[in-house]
């Protein structure tokens, strides 16, 4: 399908259901391979937390005391630039980790995290998790692999921002969102992530005015349909022609 051809990535696999919440789809793949007793050991480190929609989980520059596993909901990770400019680095959904890049150095958060919708998560203290990693080195290796994959994804995004036009960037972003958060409906794929036009602009690295103008153009060409905060992908093949593949594959939670 065109979406997969352009994205050069597959759905991220899930790991075991550790938190005990039966409504959860499973935790991150970095926990695959843990025995049942190991999973129970990890579960004892988890502290349940809940956030309302549009609520800050942590601020850029705040001390990083640990990380989160998202159970339900979606969170955007936002980097503040000069002036009022911001860049949404990624969207974190169920089963994914939030703030894991600070596990090893224990410094401050490099970006802010804010919920897109009501969100429940599990928080794990950094020191306790480091002790867990010493006893379970396979998880440490898989975590290192995950962080390396994200680094490769961000490198690909740098190339995209430097050399790609706004239309190609936005088309690729819409395909990525449809691939990761798309739900099949009668007229195509509906992107279920609750994103504003400003969010899309900050994810694509373009101005809000440019994003609105480009979205209108895509709608006029019947590639997408806009309905308030809902976006429907009507013609993924058409979007794929507009969005050439990145030179390297973003394989880990980077849109």
Q: What are 216-249's pLDDT values in tens digits?
A: 999 999 999 998 778 999 999 899 888 865 544 4
pLDDT tens track for 130-173: 999 999 999 999 999 999 988 888 887 777 776 778 888 899 89
| pTM of the shown model | 0.81
pLDDT tens per residue, range 79-98: 987 767 788 999 999 889 99
E-strand stretches of the chain? 47-51, 56-58, 66-72, 75-80, 86-92, 97-98, 112-115, 119-125, 182-185, 188-191, 224-227, 230-233
Give the architecture-level CATH label for domain 9-159: Sandwich (2.60)
* φ, ψ of residue 237 in degrees (nearest 5): -65, -40
Q: Which pLDDT does position 133 carry in this prediction?
A: 97
CATH of domain 165-242: 1.10.10.10
Domain boundaries, the chain: 9-159, 165-242
């Amino acid at each position: 399908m065109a979406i997969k051809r352009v994205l050069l990535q597959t759905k991220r696999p899930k790991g075991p259901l550790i938190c005990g919440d039966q409504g959860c789809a499973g935790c991150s793949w970095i926990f695959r391979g843990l025995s049942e007793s190991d999973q129970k050991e990890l579960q004892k480190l988890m502290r349940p937390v809940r956030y309302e929609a549009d609520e800050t989980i942590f601020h850029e520059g705040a001390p990083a005391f640990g990380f989160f596993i998202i159970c339900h909901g979606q969170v955007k990770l936002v980097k503040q630039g000069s002036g009022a400019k911001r860049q949404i680095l990624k969207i974190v959904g169920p089963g994914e980790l939030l703030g894991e890049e600070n596990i090893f150095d224990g410094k401050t958060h490099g970006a802010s995290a804010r919920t897109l919708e009501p969100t429940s998560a599990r928080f794990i203290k950094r020191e306790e998790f480091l002790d867990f990693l010493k006893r379970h080195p396979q998880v440490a290796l898989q975590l290192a692999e995950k962080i390396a994959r994200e680094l490769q994804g961000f490198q690909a995004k740098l190339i995209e921002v430097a050399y790609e036009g706004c239309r190609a960037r936005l088309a690729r972003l819409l395909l990525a969102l449809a691939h990761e958060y798309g739900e099949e409906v009668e007229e195509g794929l509906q992107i279920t992530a609750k994103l504003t036009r400003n969010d899309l602009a900050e994810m694509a690295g373009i101005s809000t005015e440019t994003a609105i103008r480009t979205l209108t153009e895509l709608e006029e060409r019947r590639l997408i349909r806009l309905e308030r905060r809902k976006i429907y992908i009507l013609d993924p093949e058409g979007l794929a022609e507009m969005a050439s593949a990145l030179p390297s594959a973003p394989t880990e939670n980077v849109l």
